[in-house]
Amino acid sequence: MNKYINSKNINANSDFPYLVLDVVNQHAKPINPGFNVMHWHNDLQFIYVLNGTIQIKTLEKSEEIVAGNGAFINQNVVHQVNHRTNSHYRSFIFPAYFLDFYFGGPTQRLVEELTLNQSLELINFKLESKWAAVCNKLNQLSQLFENNRQSHLYPYEVLTALVSIFLEIQKRVSLPQQKQDSNAKTRVKAMLEYIQKNYSQKITLAELAKSANISKAECNRCFHSILQTSPYNYLLEYRLSKAAELLKKTKLPISVVANQVGFSQASQFGKYFKAKTSLTPLQFRKS
C-alpha cells in the first residue's frame, strides 16, 4: 500500500494526532490539498454528515451517506469522498492505537480483529437501523469539535467518545471473511501506482494499459467499473492534487508547478485548476 496515493494526517507529528476536517461542498478546513482522487491513509476515519448527501467510494463499493448518518472507513483503504447535494460533513481521522488502551492487552486484539480485516473497508451507519446509537455518538463527537475544542479536557473527551463509538461498532458488526483482490481491483491498483510514479510525464492510454498488462479497452472498463471515472479524468484530478501540494508547500513559479505535474502549458493548467477549485493557482497559494 505504501506505493499508492497516501494522504498524510497533518497532525501526525503532534502529541495528539487527531484531525478533524470540516467540509462544505468539497471545500475542507483546514485546507486539504487532496482533491477528488482515490487515496488512502494509515489512520482510521469516521464521517458524520450534517447536511446534504455525500458519496464514499472504495475500489469495490460505493455508498451514499445522508444527513444524520455516518460512516467508518478502515485504515489503508483506497477511497474518495464526493458531495452529491449541498453538503456539510465532518471527517474524524485518528490512529488505531487511540482505541487500544495498552499494548498487548485484549482490547488491542479486539481492535486489530476489525482494523486489520482487509475485507472490511467501509460501514454505512444508518440512523434508522441497528447503527442508530453509533450515529448519535458521531453527532456528539461533532458537537465536541464545534463547542469544546478549546477546553483543556478536549483530548480526553475525544478519546472517550472514540472508544465509546468503537464499542458500539464491535457489538453490532459481523466481520466478513478475508478475500483475495478481484482481477479488476488488482489491475486498477497497478495503474494507480503507474500514475503516481509517472504523472509528471506524458501518459498515453496505451502506456497506462500496458502497466497492468491489459488492452486499452480493458483499461477503460476497469476505471469505469471500479472508480466510476475515465483514466483521463482520474489523471487530471491526480495532477491537480499534486499541484495543490506544491502550491501550498513551495514558492515555485506557477509555470514550474504546472510543468512538474504534467501540464505543458501554464494557461491550460490555470484553466483546469480554477474550474476545480474556483480559485486561480495564485489565489489558492495566498489562501
**Residues 106 and 211 occupy one common structural domain:** no
The answer to whether 127 and 139 have CB atoms below 8 angstroms apart is no
Tell me the whole-structure pTM to 2 decimals. 0.71
Give, in order, the Cα–Cα distances in Å from 66 to each of 56, 57, 85, 267.
Answer: 11, 14, 10, 38
Instruction: Give percent of the chain with pLDDT exceeding 90.
Output: 58
29-43, 51-65, 90-104: lowest mean pLDDT where? 29-43
Same domain, residue pair 152 and 52: yes
What does R_g of the chain's alpha carbons equal in angstroms?
A: 20
- Statement to judge: residues 143 and 205 lie in one domain: no
Quickly count: other Cβ atoms within 10 Å of residue 203's Cβ: 19
Cα separation, 180 vs 262, in Å, equals 34
- Could you tell me if residue 2 is inside a domain? no
Whether the Cβ atoms of residue 100 and residue 111 lie closer than 8 Å to each other? yes
Model confidence pLDDT, tens digit, residues 208-234: 999 999 999 899 988 887 877 889 988
48 and 103 inside one domain: yes
What does the pLDDT read at residue 9?
Answer: 76
Mean pLDDT, the chain, whole residue set: 89
Q: Say yes or no: 221 and 276 in one domain.
A: no
Tell whether 86 and 222 lie within a shared domain. Answer: no
pLDDT tops 90 at residue 71: yes
Give 170-196 pLDDT, tens digit per residue: 999 988 765 555 678 888 889 999 998
For the cut 50, the answer to whether the pLDDT of residue 4 exceeds it is no
AA identity, residue 260: Q
The b/e string for 81-116 (b: 16+ C-beta within 10 A; e otherwise) is: bebeeebbbbbbbbbbebbbeeeeeebbebbeebbe
Which domain CATH number covers 278?
1.10.10.60
112 and 207 part of one domain: no
What is the reported pLDDT for 176?
A: 76
CA distance 75 to 53: 23
Nearest to 92 by CA among 16, 37, 167: 16
Q: Examine the domain organization and report whether 39 and 162 are in the same domain.
A: yes
Q: How many CB atoms lie within 10 A of CB 249?
A: 9
pLDDT band at 1 (very low <50, low <70, confident <90, very high): very low
Average pLDDT, stretch 240-258? 91
Residue 89 structural domain: 19-172
Whether pLDDT at 138 is above 90: yes
Q: Would residue 88 count as lying in a domain?
A: yes
Structural domain count, the chain: 3
Q: What is the pLDDT of residue 133?
A: 96
| Other residues' Cβ atoms within 10 Å of the Cβ of residue 67 | 16
Q: Return d(Cα 284, Cα 282) in angstroms, integer.
A: 5
CA quadruple 226, 232, 235, 239: dihedral, nearest 10: -150
Segment (H or E) for 91: strand 88-94
In a domain, 204, yes or no: yes
Q: Indicate whether 52 pLDDT > 90.
A: yes
In a domain, 6, yes or no: no
